[in-house]
């Protein structure tokens, strides 16, 4: 039995090792960890070199160092010294993160960027909701916040699919050339938030 367990363990290790040895298909930002420690938690300074005990921990490596850019609401880059910005771009992954504001303990759904706002899951479509429609809200559920905004952007971008409709008249804000830049998208989303209140 002991021999079987050892063989089984080795087979699993040999089988899964190539999976974990491959690099991910996308860059992952470094953790920023620069310190190294021994087995009881004492800091080792400087970090160990190859061949020394405790070498190989996170503090030994700097892969894809963290890099961020502040962005204005229209998507333009701002200097690192900017005191106000609407978004942050992770330069390693390319992801853009919204900066929430007005963290004051009071929800304000007319401001889609309010940090106090919360939204419930709601998708009334049985073909896409996995059998759970969730909890509808009045401007406070995911359908209102996300799906309607996506539909509005599709309509304003010139999608004429008859299945795409919204509860709002978008004729006064939609551009006619079928092109929507970040500034227009932000304006459309703000318009929808204002219409809900």
Q: What range does the domain containing 58 cover? A: 37-64
* pTM value surpassing 0.85: no
- Asked if pLDDT for residue 144 goes beyond 60, the answer is yes
User: Do residue 81 and residue 124 come from a single domain?
Assistant: no
Residue pLDDT, tens place only, 173-196: 555 455 555 555 666 666 666 655
Residue pLDDT, tens place only, 46-101: 999 999 999 999 999 888 899 999 988 778 899 999 999 888 989 998 888 888 88
User: Do residue 177 and residue 120 come from a single domain?
Assistant: yes
What single string gives the DSSP state of each residue in the chain? -HHHHHHHHHHHHHHHHHHHHSPPSS---------EE-TTS-EESSPPPTTSTTTTSGGG---S---EEEE-TTS-B--TT-S--SEEEETTT--EEE--B--SS---TTSTTBTT---B-B---TTTSTT--B---SS-BHIIIIIHHHHHHHHHTT---TT---SS--TTT--SSS---HHHHHHHHHHHHHHH-
User: Do residue 179 and residue 117 come from a single domain?
Assistant: yes
Number of domains in the chain: 3
């Amino acid at each position: 039995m002991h021999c079987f367990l050892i063989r089984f363990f080795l087979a699993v290790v040999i089988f899964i090792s190539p999976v974990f040895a491959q690099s991910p298909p996308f860059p992952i930002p470094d953790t920023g960890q620069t310190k190294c420690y021994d087995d009881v938690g004492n800091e080792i300074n400087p970090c160990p070199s190859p061949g020394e005990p405790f070498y190989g921990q996170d503090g030994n490596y700097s892969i894809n160092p963290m890099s961020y850019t502040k962005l204005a609401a229209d998507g333009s880059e701002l200097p690192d010294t900017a005191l106000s910005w609407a978004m942050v771009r992770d330069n390693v992954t390319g992801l853009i993160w919204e900066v929430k504001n007005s963290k004051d303990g009071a929800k304000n759904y007319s401001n889609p960027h309010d940090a106090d706002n919360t939204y419930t899951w709601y998708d009334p479509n049985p073909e896409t909701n996995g059998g759970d429609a969730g909890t509808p809200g009045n401007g406070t559920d995911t359908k209102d916040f996300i799906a309607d905004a996506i539909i509005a952007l599709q309509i304003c971008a010139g999608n004429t699919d008859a299945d795409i409709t919204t509860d709002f008249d978008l004729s006064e804000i939609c551009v006619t050339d079928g092109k929507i830049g970040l500034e227009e998208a932000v304006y459309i989303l703000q318009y929808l938030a204002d219409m809900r209140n």
